[in-house]
Structure 1
Amino acid sequence: MDRRQFVAQTMAGSVLLSAGGLSLGSCSDRKKHLTVLHTNDVHSHIDPFPVDHADFPGLGGLARRAGLVQSIREENPNTLLLDAGDIFQGTPYFNFYGGELEFKLMSKLKYDASTIGNHDFDNGIDGLLAQIPYASFDFLIANYDFSNTVLDGYTKPYKTYLRDGIKVGIYGIGIQLAGLVTKKLYKETEYLDPYEIALDMETQLRETEKCDVVICLSHLGYSYENENKPDDLTLAQRTQHTDLIIGGHTHTFLERPTIVTNAGGRDILVNQVGCFGVNLGRIDFYFDADGAKAQGVTISV
């Protein structure tokens, strides 16, 4: 199946959004269009898989992703490129370069923001700090308190971005590190309740920052059937102002975004595109005089 067929067959149904405070009068008669591209759990996979690979024959590779991102940006300059964590660990590139190459290449692709996954601590909090100068994008994480660590001041709980007059607020939420990461690696990082922090962040972004679209970059995981752990589906049900949750950690391959009804009775999108950079997620938000809607696709790289 070629990429065009793949995209056509994975188009999700439109979701109507009461998204934020966009002044429809400012749109005139022109529809505004925001594109959000995203990856998760790339795990240092820079090269494509071999053509005889059992699971991902010939798929992936950062060069192909770069070409795809460039073509989408040419189609719509009002594009954001995001990552949901676990950038590190998985190939010899990480073992040899410690994350420097991954951050440099993501910067070349002009990623806008990423959250932090548990494997991004695999060289310790000091190892992560050593690579941050190679990243030209923002690290967003709201429920890790780095106040008593060397990472204090190097991350943000959220950030706002402006594209074609559309104000986009993005916040990051991370998984509990205890039990996944050795204490000596994350040191005095304090984990805060992700649901409580998410409610604080989305309220700040919608009501104070007056964002038109609110996005959560999550590394909680899509869902857990038999475990009482925070996950993206539950997060979506509990939030009120978040329009899109971009997830990671569980390596969940979704053909299309999941539609979840939130605490305010509004349908929102939850998406995750597997792992190892074999897919690129794409969500398109359209604003016009009738309101806003979103559509999602998964693109094979």
Structure 2
Amino acid sequence: MERRKFIRNTAASSSLLTLGGLSLNSCAAQAKKHITILHTNDVHSHIDAFPNDHADFPGLGGLARRAGLVDSIRKENPHTLLFDAGDIFQGTPYFNFYGGELEFKLMSMLNYDATTLGNHDFDNGLDGLLAQMPYAKFNFLSANYDFTNTDLNGFTQPYKIYYKDGVKIGVYGLGIQLHGLVTKKLYKETQYLDPFEMATDMETKLKEVEKCDLVICLSHLGYEYDFAEKPDDLKLAKKTKYTDLIIGGHTHTFLEKPTVVTNSTGREVLVNQVGCYGVNLGRIDFYFDNTGNSSHGYTIKV
């Protein structure tokens, strides 16, 4: 593990990126505060490491290695949050045999804080997803799926607020349009709401009403599409006002460092995604003081 533990450290890790206009709303302390955000996406039921002779990911991945890496980072900085951007399910026989139970149990053992829902998380239907939720000791965040007329009503929430070292962190979730990706009988009466509109609602509430110091979106929209009308993370970032970080999924996009996007107010937003199958772990470090915020981010091979 040592040879893979911390490599792919890019230029972003050696120079701080300043995100202008942010300051601590919920804490008046003078000391600089350090918040670490760890994240995965599109793990697709990959519990084991890839074999050493695998063509694309030789010897990489595996939940045991990720657990060790996450644990070491938490010891380095106890003010750490761990998120996933969806598509936890579907991809190995573990899902075929256990229906997601094992994935949720193991994520709970790693103390994930929250996930959003990906399209493949509906592969056993709403009933199949609901049956596994008791094994999940983390939050399911989804602002633009309306489950009111389904059995999943009340089992997700649009956003969640976390507190780390006096810093107030608001996190909301967005999912991709299920029509065309998932059979109707699997998602039933789930209503898809415009992700741009819901992002505006969520970030406004988290910043202006809840007074969050940091606003994060867990997105399963996809990193970028050529179609102007199809929502993606880069388009979302340009439209936002208060969101500081978009953690993405769905398109299996391997980024060595976050993409910096200028939002609707001229402020910089970070967009990150770490590929798929658990071979990488994303890390973003935010540094706060009473005058502003800076950050750096990179991808760690697992």
Q: Same fold (TM over 0.5)?
A: yes
Distance 1:211 1:21 in 2: 10
CA distance in 2, matches of 1:12, 1:130: 45
How high is the TM-score relative to the length of structure 2? 0.96
What is residue 6 of structure 1 aligned with on the other side? 8
Measured at CA, do residues 118 and 83 of structure 1 come closer, stay the same or move farther in structure 2, by a change above 3 Å? same
2:19 to 14, 17, 20: 17
For residues 93-152 of structure 1, the C-alpha deviation after alignment (integer angstroms, 9 at most, x for no partner) is 000000000000000000000000000000001000000000000000000000000000
> Residue 118 of structure 1 corresponds to which residue in structure 2?
119
Q: CA 1:20–1:11 in structure 2 vs 1: closer, same or farther (change >3 Å)?
A: closer
Gaps of 5+ in 1: none
Using the alignment, how far apart are the partners of 2:83 and 2:97 within structure 1?
A: 25
Return the offset for 1:9.
5.7
AA aligned to 2:24 is: L
Q: Name the counterpart of 2:182.
A: 181
Secondary structure in structure 2 of the residue aligned to 1:248: coil
Deviation at 1:7, TM superposition (A): 2.4
- Residue in 2 that maps onto 1:128: 129
What is the rounded CA distance, in whole Å, between the counterparts of 1:24 and 1:155 in structure 2?
A: 26
- Post-superposition Cα deviations, 1:248-295, rounded to whole Å, max 9, x if no partner, equal 000000011000000010011000000000000000000124410111
User: Given residue 55 of structure 1, which amino acid in structure 2 is its aligned partner?
Assistant: D
What is the Cα deviation at residue 15 of structure 1? Answer: 2.6
Alignment check: 8 A CA contact 1:12 1:297 kept: no
Return the alpha-carbon distance in structure 2 between the equivalents of residues 73 and 7 of structure 1: 18
Contact 1:19 1:243 in 2 (8 A): no
**Equivalent in the alignment of 2:76:** 75
Q: Which runs of 5+ in 2 are unaligned?
A: none
8 Å contact from structure 1 (residues 20, 206) kept in 2: no
- In the aligned structure 2, how far is the partner of 1:88 from the partner of 1:50? 21
Q: Which amino acid aligns with 1:66?
A: A
CA distance in 1, matches of 2:92, 2:80: 29
> Following TM superposition, by how much is the alpha carbon of 1:228 offset from its aligned partner in structure 2, in angstroms?
3.0
Tell me the distance in 2 between the aligned counterparts of 1:206 and 1:4. 34
Distance 1:188 1:19, change over 3 A: farther
CA RMSD of aligned residues (A): 1.5
- Cα–Cα, structure 1 residues 8 and 254, in superposed 2: closer, same or farther, change >3 Å? closer
Deviation at 1:27, TM superposition (A): 2.0
Return the letter of the residue paired with 2:154. G
Q: Secondary structure at the match of 2:204?
A: helix
Q: What whole-Å deviation, never above 9, does each CA across 1:31-66 have from its counterpart, x for those lacking one?
A: 100000000000000000000000000000000000
Assess if the C-alpha contact under 8 Å between 2:23 and 2:292 holds in 1: no
The answer to whether structure 1 residue 105 and structure 2 residue 106 are counterparts is yes
Q: Quote the residue 2:248 is aligned against.
A: 247
Instruction: Kindly provide the amino acid, as one letter, of the partner of residue 217 in structure 2.
Output: C
Q: Residue 6 of structure 1 aligns to a residue in which SS?
A: coil
